Chains A and B, each alone.
Chain A
Amino acid sequence: MADIDKANQQAVERMMDARPILKGVAPARDVIPGMRDNLLLHAGPPIEWERMSGPLRGAVIGALLFEGKAKNAKDAEALVKKGEIDFAPCHHHATVGPMAGVTSASMMVYVIENETHGNKAYSNLNEGYGKVLRYGAYSDEVIAKLKWMNDKMGPILAKAIEASRGLDIRALLAEALHMGDEGHNRNKAGSIMYTAKLAPWIAKVAEDAALESEVLKFLGDNALSVLNPVMASCKAMADAAHGVEGSTMVTPMARNGTDFGLRVSGLGDDWFTAPAEVPDGLYFPSFTSKDANPDIGDSTITETAGIGGFAMAAAPAIVQFVSGTPQDAINTTMEMYEITIAEHKHFTIPQLEFRGTPTGIDIRKVVELGITPRVNTGIAHKDAGVGQIGAGLVRPPMKIFEDAIRAYAEKYKL
């Protein structure tokens, strides 16, 4: 078994060598493998309607309204309860989505291609702030915004990206980490760069100046514009590292609002899950932790790939999430070096003398040292339709790592 280290090295090298390029935007049903009209993808490990939390249910309702499968929330729920709708984790379809992550067949999605290993990954378009589907909101304005994104912005993005012949998201991320982003909760610099890189192409392909202006404003105003391509890129990187025999590296971590789950490179497609915890964080006016839903979203793919909470030292502007000082942010990243396999070849942190970010979570180290990964996250209201109420920090439950260790011992007959 001396080969665990070797297997992990191989897995982490694959993850770091992966070169995710944004190649296009297209309807989910046209590009996502296995996508079909009555299938809704969701964040996190598998879950049935009965156990879904408020925001996930809200997003499911919203998606059915968006697809025109239901006229109102009641109809949508009835449809689900009749068993007309299938659910599957985004992760089972090479896809990731922030928060609820609900992705339906008609939705426009980003297409990322890992040019090193050839695999692809997908993510929906980011809706910005306020009342949004990913936090379980499904009011008319939410659906209207989704439709505008899908019908107006989506096709322009598709053409612009095609015209650009692809954007190198790994390079963009590497640069954003030097500009105060950590790639998960803070994507301001990345989103601005993303908009700046796309703008000339949008100008070139847009036929309507008013729409062009709207699209550019939408992308430019949204400090999370780049989050979804970033997440899909992380997914493409992590997928390239999945399935290395003997490896104890985590390939996704994901939450569905009820459970926190992970998979391990050398343990096939099994999920290890336990109840998700409520993040510890800062809240918008009039909300408290009592209003918070347990942790939700596929965005932990960023930490899986070595950014997000793991690169906290690079993002001093949001150090309050980790209780206050830049030193605390550095400590967060330093702690993650303890449980990771490598220091990233491409993602570096100026504040740590350009040391590579801690990359590739090793379940052995997590369990041995009693240190779970640090995750930066948005906080959703527990009720469907309310939306984001804060942002903060969360850690996955230790149990899922312990269960994975036991499963490893069983599979590899230790």
Chain B
Amino acid sequence: MSSTKSQVRPGAYFDSVVLMQLQRNLLTLPGVEDAGVVMATPANLELLADSDLLSNEGKSAKPEDLLIVVRAAKAADAEAALGKVDELLKQRRSSAGSSFRPRSLSAAVKNLPAAEWVLVSVPGRYAAKVAHEALDLGKHVFLYSDNVSLQDEIALKQKAVKKNLLVMGPDCGTAIINGIGLGFANRVRRGSIGLVAASGTGLQTVTTKISNLKGGVSQAIGTGSRDLKSQVGALSMLQGLHYLAADSETKVIVLISKPPDAEVATRLLAAAHQCSKPVVVDFIGFAPPAAQIGNLYFAAGLDQAARLAVDLAKQPASKKAETNHLKGYLRGLFSGGTLAYEVLNGLQLFLSPIYSNIPIRSEQKLETTLNSKAHTILDLGEDEFTVGRLHPMMDNDLRLRRMKQEAEDNEVGMILLDVVLGEGAHPNPAGELAPAIVAHRKLRKEREFVALVIGTTEDPQQIDEQIRLLIDAAAIVFRDVSATVNYIAARLSQPIAAAETLAKFSEPLAAINMGVESFYDSLKAQGAQAVQVDWRPPASGNEDLARILEKMKA
């Protein structure tokens, strides 16, 4: 025989939903068979009576009274259950409930309007669509997903450039923005070294090394591993470079990549060279023409890149003289073959297209040595020129004629000559070259003549006198190759039409994470504002419906 116990609480008002909840909880207590928790209105009393839960005590309750009835197998259980009522009424969920997780990016943006960044790590075949949506909403994209096609990458990056946004990736594993690591990133000191890298682990290695050397990182921007392919054209790295160049917190810039495609390297290094800050370049496996060309420092490996960057960051910022860009092509008329080759080796990083009769890459080969084309470096000591005549180190005739030919070409903005002194060489090369320079300058005043003079004060030609003659003819004289290359690159490389520089990344960093949840957790752990999107494949993966939905968007 089961036992029914009731309790009347006069005038105790609770919302019916609270009461139903209490009733449900009472039912879970040991021995309880049935329970009723109601305000004692006639309708409710009738309900209790139907369930055989109405005692005499209950019958006497008034509509404004709370009536609690428990039926249990044993009277003690029923009493015990009634004794739990207050505890159950007070019971609240320990947490205030988890906060809302949006399913769509647009909802996430509304929830965190401050978010400038969207981290995308959804499966590759959906990633491009999500990234496009993020760009359309005006957000920078950290695209961790791989298996994104090259076409999609190009389309995304072109859109980003147009919208003055950044796409890091696809397949970008790491970045540090305003001190907050995105994706896989180490906790490193903040400081004045800004990095752009097409290699995730490369970036991690250098940033950690910088930090361990007591240097610090301003921004570490990832680009994805294919950014420096010719089809993509380093769109992201160029944006990153320009950002860091303009960033007041960045004193030194580091570029990291596997060897870029040649023309991409030219564009990138020309841009880096035009920047007023030291730029450490580590294109892993790339043969640099020199350890340093102007503000460019070529590092042999990640460790050296970090060390160089830290050292450079300690030096006072040197104001780089503003160089005006000179219009026109370079024509280098060399008597020394190796000099020609080394100058070509350096300048090919900055000037494009560049041709030669001693090409380093096959596409640089001149069709005919009779006529120069675009930027041209000629080794006039090559056999084709010296058949039946003296070597140009001894006889200036060929060079003087070629100078005249080049000077008559209106597209030529600069003529470069080497002047090699010493035993066996022409006794007074400047004496013949300088008057020619003066004569040609009369034709076009703005045209520049640059001379690379090789020799010592002991040499019979009297080097000081040779240099004076050249300077008097308004030639610009250098004594070493890398200084020559640096000067010419600065004067002649195309000013990089810096697509608008990205707006300064806002602090504190706020981001929306779509995909791998640990990225969200780590953003929160680093104190960033973040929203996790509970992303699912469109139309729950039903491709037929997803296709229709796409058409409806178009």
Given contacts A282-B21, A390-B20, contact A338 B102 (CB under 8 A): yes
Shortest Cβ distance from B46 into A: residue = A130
Central interface residue in B96, B546, B552, by most chain A CB within 10 Å? B552
- A38 at the A/B interface (Cβ < 8 Å)? no
Decide yes or no whether B548 CB sits under 8 A from chain A. yes
Q: Is residue B290 within 8 Å, beta carbon to beta carbon, of the partner chain?
A: no
Distance from B48 Cβ to chain A, minimum over Cβ atoms (Å):
6
B34 near A285: Cβ-Cβ < 8 Å: yes
Asked if A320 and B17 sit within 8 Å, CB to CB, the answer is yes
Taking the complex as formed, is B100 at the interface, i.e. its CB lies under 8 A from any CB of chain A? yes
Contact at A338–B104, with CB atoms within 8 Å?
yes
Q: Which of B15, B99, B551 contacts A409 (CB 8 A)?
A: B551
Mark interface residues in B50-69 (1 if CB within 8 Å of A CB, else 0).
11010000000000000001
User: Residues 326-365 of chain A: 1 if any B CB is under 8 Å from the residue's CB, otherwise 0?
Assistant: 1110110011011000000000000000000000000011
B1-53: which residues lie under 8 A (CB-CB) from chain A?
15, 17-18, 20-21, 23-24, 34-38, 43, 46-48, 50-51, 53
Cα-based distance from A260 to B540 in the complex (angstroms): 21
Partner pick for A283 among B20, B48, B103, CB 8 A cutoff: B20
Contacting residue for B38 out of A285, A330, A370, CB 8 A: A285
| Given A320-B18, A324-B93, A414-B551, CB of A285 within 8 Å of CB of B35 | yes
Q: A285-B36, A338-B102, A405-B548 are in contact. Are A327 and B96 (CB under 8 A)?
A: yes
Q: Evaluate contact between A4 and B99: CB separation under 8 angstroms.
A: no
Q: Is B107 an interface residue (CB 8 A)?
A: yes
A324 to chain B: which residues have CB within 8 Å? 21, 93, 97
Which residues from chain A contact B92 at a C-beta distance below 8 Å?
A: 325
Q: B549 in the interface, Cβ–Cβ < 8 Å?
A: yes
- A286 and B50 in contact (CB under 8 A), knowing A324-B93, A369-B536? yes
Q: Which residue of A lies closest to B24 (CB)?
A: A282
Contact of B53 among A129, A285, A370 (CB under 8 A): A285
Least distance between A181 CB and chain B CB atoms (Å): 12
Q: Is B554 an interface residue (CB 8 A)?
A: yes
Q: A285-B47, A285-B48 are in contact. Are A337 and B110 (CB under 8 A)?
A: yes
B527 adjacent to chain A (CB < 8 Å): no
Is B337 part of the binding interface, using a Cβ–Cβ cutoff of 8 Å? no
Q: List the A side residues contacting B38 at CB < 8 Å.
A: 284-285
The interface centre, meaning the residue of A248, A285, A324, A365 with most chain B CB atoms within 10 A of its CB, is: A285
A257-293, CB < 8 A from B: 282-286
With beta carbons under 8 angstroms apart, the residue of A320, A398, A414 that contacts B548 is A414
Q: Which residue of A lies closest to B52 (CB)?
A: A286
A193 within 8 A of B: no
Cα distance, A326 to B103, chains bound together (Å): 20
Q: Does A408 contact B (CB under 8 A)?
A: yes
**Are A1 and B551 within 8 A (Cβ)?**
yes
Assembly CA distance A317 to B20 (angstroms): 13
Task: Encode contact with A along B84-112: 1 for CB under 8 Å, 0 otherwise.
Answer: 00000000110111111011100100110
Interface presence of B495 (CB below 8 A): no
Complex formed: what's the CA distance from A380 to B542 in Å?
A: 34
- Which one of B20, B23, B48, B554 has the highest number of Cβ atoms from chain A below 10 Å of its Cβ? B20
The reply to whether the CB of B287 lies closer than 8 angstroms to some CB of chain A is no
**Residues of chain A within 8 A of B99, CB atoms compared:** 327, 331
Indicate which residue in A1, A129, A331, A406 contacts B97 across the interface (CB closer than 8 Å).
A331
Contact call B545/A405, Cβ cutoff below 8 A: yes
Q: Which residues of B contact A210 (CB under 8 A)?
A: none
* B97 pairs with A325, CB closer than 8 A: yes
Minimum C-beta distance from A396 to chain B (A): 15
Q: Which residue of A has the minimal Cβ distance to B23?
A: A285
Assess whether A331 is in contact with B100, with CB atoms less than 8 Å apart: yes
Is the CB–CB distance between B100 and A334 below 8 Å? yes
**Given A130-B46, A409-B548: A1 in contact with B17 (beta carbons within 8 A):** no
CA distance A368 to B545 in the complex (A): 8
Chain B residue with Cβ nearest A282: B20
| A325→B93 contact, CB < 8 A | yes
Whether the Cβ atoms of B545 and A367 lie closer than 8 Å is: yes
Contact status of A370 and B17, CB under 8 A, knowing A285-B23, A286-B50, A331-B100: no
Seed contacts A283-B20, A286-B47; 5 additional CB < 8 Å A-B pairs: A338-B104, A367-B549, A368-B538, A369-B538, A409-B551
Question: What would 20 A/B residue contacts be, using CB atoms closer than 8 Å?
Answer: A282-B20, A283-B20, A285-B23, A285-B37, A285-B38, A285-B51, A286-B36, A320-B21, A324-B21, A327-B97, A327-B98, A327-B99, A328-B97, A334-B100, A335-B103, A364-B549, A367-B545, A370-B536, A370-B539, A406-B548
Top-7 shortest CB links A-B: A327-B97, A285-B36, A286-B51, A282-B20, A325-B97, A130-B43, A334-B100
Q: Please give the residue numbers on chain B whose beta carbons come within 8 Å of chain A beta carbons, in ascending order.
A: 15, 17-18, 20-21, 23-24, 34-38, 43, 46-48, 50-51, 53, 69, 92-93, 95-100, 102-104, 107, 110-111, 536, 538-540, 542, 545-546, 548-549, 551-552, 554
